[in-house]
Amino acid sequence: MPMSAHSPAAIVRVALDVPLDRLFDYIAPVALPTDIGRRVQVPFGTRQLVGVILQITDHSDLPSHRLKSVGAIDRETPPLPGDLLTLLAFCARYYHHPVGEVVLGVLPTSWRQSHVTVARPGYRLTAAGRAVALDTLPTNATVQRQVLQKLQTVEWLSPAHSREISPHAAAALKVLVRRSWVVPCMAPPPHLPAASLAVPLLNADQQQAVAAMLAKPAVFAPWLLHGITGSGKTEVYLRLIDAVVANGGQVLVLAPEINLTPQLESRFRHRFPQLTLVTLHSALTDSERLRAWQAARDGDADIVLGTRLAVFTPMPRLQHIIVDEEHDASYKQQEGLRYSARDVAVFRAKQQNIPVVLGSATPSLESYHNTLTGRYQRVTLGTRAVTNAHLPDVHLIDSRRYRPDHGLSAPLLAALGARLARGEQSLLFLNRRGYAPVLMCRVCGWLSTCSRCSGRLVLHLRQQALCCHHCGHEAHVPAVCPDCGKGDLVAVGHGTQRIEERLAEHFPAARILRIDRDSTRRKHAMGELLARAHRQEVDILVGTQMLAKGHDFDNLTLVGVIDPDGALYSADFRAAERLFAQLMQVAGRAGRREIRGEVLIQTAFPGHPLYLALRRHDYTAFAEALLAEREQTGFPPFCHQALLRAEAHQRDKVLDFLMVAADTARCFGGPVTVYDPVVATMQRIAGKERAQLLVQSDSRRALHALLGRWMVALRALNSRRVRWSLDVDPLEW
């Protein structure tokens, strides 16, 4: 075949944010190897899309007349670094997700749009810069002198500010940066009280942990830092960060939830006022996010602290990764690319050949199992770090004997009363927000259910509304029963609002504060409420799991847990593991200082092994019992799973699709079990019928080989009416 006379200069292969698992070829008049990782604008159908160049080649499988040309290549901004692209390609393969969605999904939002905005950094003085005597500068360096002078008074010079000094300030700043007198820096350093810089002496466990983790040369090494609540894991992180940054490295620290980042951030900033720290989480504006991301990518940030998505932040000097509360299910993204940020952190550490530390008081069974098989190394912190602080006493209140009155049993009320009398704080934990989980008609038995979901509508008295916690649907509270027309409606069960109301009746003088998703909706609300608790303006905190993790209240000596039994006999095989972790966490809020804490759990099953293990604070025994059970029944971590989820308006369509999918998978053979499709636990959400299909294997390799072929086949089915997605290593059912 004759060569085309119009043979193009180069073909670039571009990742685009479309649900097709392939790259798209375009002609580029000039393409250099350094263009890999750069953003590019391309025509796609009738649209213009922003993509990322992943490969450059000299031929395409498409005939040349069908190839379109690229629009602009963004050569202003640095390309995505190769190591990040490798990680993203790995994730696309591992999660069997379209590569373009993976790559574009990690970019700051404004970068995914065709308009380019480049955030410019501000500047601050280094110690050397502060020591410069202005009169030693050459006489013609007027602007440099002006800039230095200004910096000595303002701490941080914003980009706008520097332009005000002189139009030539940018050039002067470049020179000053070269002389190491000034460094680019994205935001002004926060003001810090000097007293907080005291560094505690490590206790023996901490010392051992730090020594072990720093002893080896910095190569890939996954560590599980298993430390009881209050054992000083954060102090261990601080020492690791210190050592890594002193060595010229950047550290990536992941926290499971946005609510936990402010306190870590404040501890890091207090300890390292001289370092640049950026945070990355969903509450940032696009431009804040972009600035933080650029500071990380340019190596200006020493510490990157963020939630899930931050695991994909480009960091040229990355030398260490820390995953705090590694067991937390929030690390798993539940839509789109369903990745586990914890697992990606381990992949990334392996790829970069650096250490990664997974910290928890209640490690996930997966991570714990990995220490038993020797894949991870384990270090343990067995005592509370504050002198004379001990783990709290855990007592069980048998709710069959002490019938709770609207959720509160007599022994629990008595314990609360005693704390109030002594001026100590209490926390009541109840994982159910709203006033009552359902409204019922006493005459005909009608229950408030959501018209769009298979769930109940939760009564929220304050808003006078019935709310669906699955689809967000809201309805008025009916005055009479919609079915029988009688007025005998009752709120059944109790949520945080009702407990708050009952407490106020029992303890009219007490200052009660509820912390849940409803009371913290406003921006900064969570921080303000927590600050009140820290200032001792609160006697009793009532809250959901938002309050259970990580927070450190000095004067809190009682934790009450209301109604945790639901998870004990759940169909989800992970429910017990999750409940145990949650209760260990919330119990860990009590008695973090000298006064011994107490935890009271109201349960109808006081003899359940989970509660007995909790009373002894015995994670290890409980974890090993669960692992033995999982091994016997062949559940993870003793096998590998993937879940094909599907939804559509009609249930038949969903099940038909999954039947075909199951048959297809079975045809591939291999040591993989393909189960039958089943409807999801929540059968219907927002009018969509949901079902799922589980595939599992003892061999990860065999499972992934099947998944690869399966996805190609399912995409070819082109089942328009059914939305489906694959969840590799699923956590929720």
Write out the binding residues for ligand ADP, residues 503-562 only, by CB under 6 A: 552
Shortest separation between residue 452's beta carbon and Zn ion, angstroms: 5
Burial 121-143 (b: 16+ CB within 10 A, else e): bbbbbbeebeebeeeeeeeeeeb
Q: Does 582 bind ligand ADP (CB under 6 A)?
A: no
Report the residue number, 338 or 593, with the smaller CB distance to ligand ADP. 593
Report the residue number, 97 or 551, with the smaller CB distance to ligand ADP. 551
Residue 715: its H or E element:
helix 700-717
Shortest separation between residue 189's beta carbon and ligand ADP, angstroms: 22
Distance CA 627, CA 367 (A): 11
453 binds, among ligand ADP, Zn ion, none (CB under 5 to 8 A by kind): Zn ion
Q: Does 362 bind ligand ADP (CB under 6 A)?
A: no
Q: Does 261 bind ligand ADP (CB under 6 A)?
A: no
Pairing type for strands 688-697 and 640-648 reads antiparallel
Report the residue number, 450 or 586, with the smaller CB distance to Zn ion. 450
Distance CA 474, CA 457 (A): 8
567 binds, among Zn ion, ligand ADP, none (CB under 5 to 8 A by kind): none
163: tokens are 């332009």
**Number of residues lying near ligand ADP (CB under 6 A):** 16
98: tokens are 């379209």
Q: Does 231 bind ligand ADP (CB under 6 A)?
A: yes
Return the closest-CA partner of residue 370 out of 352, 346, 354. Answer: 346
Return the residue of 144, 162, 203, 582 that touches ligand ADP, per CB under 6 A. Answer: 203
Helix (H, G, I), strand (E, B) or coil at 319: strand
Q: Does 206 bind ligand ADP (CB under 6 A)?
A: yes
604 binds, among Zn ion, ligand ADP, none (CB under 5 to 8 A by kind): none
Mark the segment that binds ligand ADP (CB under 6 A) among 98-106, 195-203, 448-456, 600-608.
Answer: 195-203
Q: Half-sphere exposure of 712 toward its Cβ, with a 13 Å CA cutoff?
A: 8
Report the residue number, 393 or 554, with the smaller CB distance to ligand ADP. 554
Torsion sign, CA atoms 463, 468, 473, 475: negative
Q: Match 């695991």 to its residue by tokens.
A: 311
Within 424-487, strands assigned E span 425-429, 438-441, 458-460, 465-467, 474-476
Shortest separation between residue 515's beta carbon and ligand ADP, angstroms: 19
Residue 692: its H or E element:
strand 688-697
Return the closest-CA partner of residue 370 out of 343, 351, 348, 344. Answer: 343
Reply yes or no: is the peptide bond before residue 637 cis, omega within 30 of 0.
yes
Distance CA 114, CA 637 (A): 43
Distance CA 244, CA 250 (A): 7
484 binds, among ligand ADP, Zn ion, none (CB under 5 to 8 A by kind): Zn ion
Return the residue of 157, 385, 420, 538 that touches ligand ADP, per CB under 6 A. Answer: 385
Return the residue of 147, 345, 365, 386 that touches ligand ADP, per CB under 6 A. Answer: 386
452 binds, among Zn ion, ligand ADP, none (CB under 5 to 8 A by kind): Zn ion
Q: Does 227 bind ligand ADP (CB under 6 A)?
A: yes
| Integer angstrom CA distances of residue 88 from 20, 154, 704, 712 | 16, 41, 17, 19
Shortest separation between residue 434's beta carbon and Zn ion, angstroms: 14
Report the residue number, 192 or 679, with the smaller CB distance to Zn ion. 679
The total of other beta-carbon atoms located within 10 Å of residue 353's CB is 12
Distance CA 573, CA 563 (A): 20
Shortest separation between residue 543's beta carbon and ligand ADP, angstroms: 18
Mark the segment that binds ligand ADP (CB under 6 A) among 99-107, 124-132, 196-204, 477-485.
Answer: 196-204
The total of other beta-carbon atoms located within 10 Å of residue 660's CB is 16
Mark the segment that binds ligand ADP (CB under 6 A) among 55-63, 199-207, 505-513, 614-622.
Answer: 199-207
Mark the segment that binds ligand ADP (CB under 6 A) among 4-12, 64-72, 225-233, 724-732.
Answer: 225-233
| Interacting residues toward ligand ADP by CB under 6 A | 200-203, 206, 227, 229-235, 385-386, 552
